[in-house]
Structure 1
Amino acid sequence: MSPNDAFAEAPSGAPIPRFPVPFALGLRVAPLLPLSLSLTVYARRVAQSHPGLFRRLGDYDTTPFVLDPTDLPIAIELQPNKGRPSVRVVRGAGQGAARIAGPLAALLGLVHGAYDGDALFFSRDLVIEGDTSAALALRNAVDDAELDLSEEVARLTGPFAAPMKHLLAIAERRTGVSLSRPEEVDLW
């Protein structure tokens, strides 16, 4: 990737940030078990806070999904387990019935409603493979839950929630990556 390729254009014309290459390289050698365990704990907290998220998957509540941040040397295997999710971080393509791939910032932007999934798909910034009806069910469940991942992280930090939210806001401003749900503007 050349310096000029650090950003791809989002369908809206705004750039989709790419994960910095030096940090991505670190994931090639980092142990993945601690990350898998941390993400499982996090996913279960999200499931507790948003029980409808996994109920909304319907027939796909046991379908394994692969979330593939294309700017990282890992893939995330998500097993919903009927509302008791487990997450496994793997090197390589990962295994699941449906694979959703794109830059990490685009995947996070989809969760927070910062990017339009259809526009990302048609611009080829987002790739869906395998069981597309399962991927659509996951997208609809996530959209319906209106998740704010930074709020969920802040809740996990207990008394450090306020400083954590502040740090995440700074990181969001500096990187351009959507780490929280955009505040809605009331036009009335």
Structure 2
Amino acid sequence: MQTHPSSESLPPLVSSLVSPLPKPPMEALLSTLTKRLVARRPDLIRRLGDVVQVPIAIVPDDLPHAFLLSLDPDNSRVRICDKSRIGDARAIVRAPFLVLLGLLDGTYDGDALFFSRDLRIEGRTEHVLALRNTLEEADLTPGEFFGLSGQSADWVNTISDKLLGQVRAFAQKSAQADCSRQKLS
């Protein structure tokens, strides 16, 4: 597990490409996947306790939108909203998108990211800690999140790992190129 990302921000081009995408289909897909995960893994909801009633905002620094996560056992959902419209959230988690994914897949240590300020938490910290501890203990894989098992889950996990590795390498090269351009100017 790495303790500090060297440069995990997506290039601005990615944000500009994501911005015009329609939110409703992405919300529907993420909400459906979250509902199915909660139905398959009720232990996650039990472990979260009262936090299931609390909306938590996940705010990627390098994307134009925020994700408002509600894990109510009867109506789990993910809303995609403008970063200025996360007022319902009782807790807010901010970091570059790839750092947030790295927390989910266990690539990064949340405590180290928090103390290095690559990960910022606002509001009810105890809710974020409960979510983090639950996800860490659950040891979710992309395949499981998509409701897969066996060989199909293994295939999705392998592809996801390779894809994320390539995206991280691209982000690092982009950051290095930006740094070199800044030094020259």
Describe the shift of the 1:21–1:150 C-alpha distance in structure 2 as closer, same or farther (beyond 3 A): farther
Question: Partners of 1:11 and 1:152 in 2: how far apart?
Answer: 23
- Counterpart residue type for residue 119 of structure 2: L
Alpha carbon RMSD of aligned pairs, Å?
Answer: 2.7
Deviates more, 1:42-51 or 1:136-145: 42-51
TM-score for both structures, normalised by structure 1: 0.77
Give the share of equivalent positions with the same residue, in percent: 32
Question: Partners of 1:106 and 1:83 in 2: how far apart?
Answer: 29
Alignment partner of 2:123 out of 130, 151, 162: 130
Describe the shift of the 1:83–1:57 C-alpha distance in structure 2 as closer, same or farther (beyond 3 A): farther
Q: How far has the Cα of 1:16 moved from its partner? A: 4.1
Question: Partners of 2:134 and 2:75 in 1: how far apart?
Answer: 15
Give SS of 1:56's match. Answer: helix
- Counterpart residue type for residue 175 of structure 1: V
TM-score for both structures, normalised by structure 2: 0.78
1:114 and 2:112 matched: no
Question: Partners of 2:144 and 2:42 in 1: how far apart?
Answer: 16
Unpaired runs of at least 5, structure 1: 1-9, 178-188
RCO comparison, higher one (Cα < 8 Å, 6+)? 2
- Counterpart residue type for residue 163 of structure 2: A
The count of corresponding residues between Structure 1 and Structure 2 is 167
Instruction: Check whether the contact 1:16–1:105 (CA below 8 A) recurs between aligned residues.
Output: no
Q: How far has the Cα of 1:59 moved from its partner? A: 1.5
1:44 and 2:3 matched: no
Describe the shift of the 1:115–1:38 C-alpha distance in structure 2 as closer, same or farther (beyond 3 A): same
Alignment partner of 2:53 out of 33, 49, 62: 62
1:31 and 2:22 matched: yes
Alignment partner of 2:62 out of 59, 66, 71: 71
Give SS of 1:61's match. Answer: helix
Unpaired runs of at least 5, structure 2: 170-185
Give SS of 1:88's match. Answer: strand
Deviates more, 1:83-92 or 1:15-24: 15-24
Instruction: Check whether the contact 1:36–1:88 (CA below 8 A) recurs between aligned residues.
Output: yes
Q: How far has the Cα of 1:127 moved from its partner? A: 0.5
- Show the counterpart of 2:164: 172
- Counterpart residue type for residue 101 of structure 1: R
More helix as a share of residues: 2
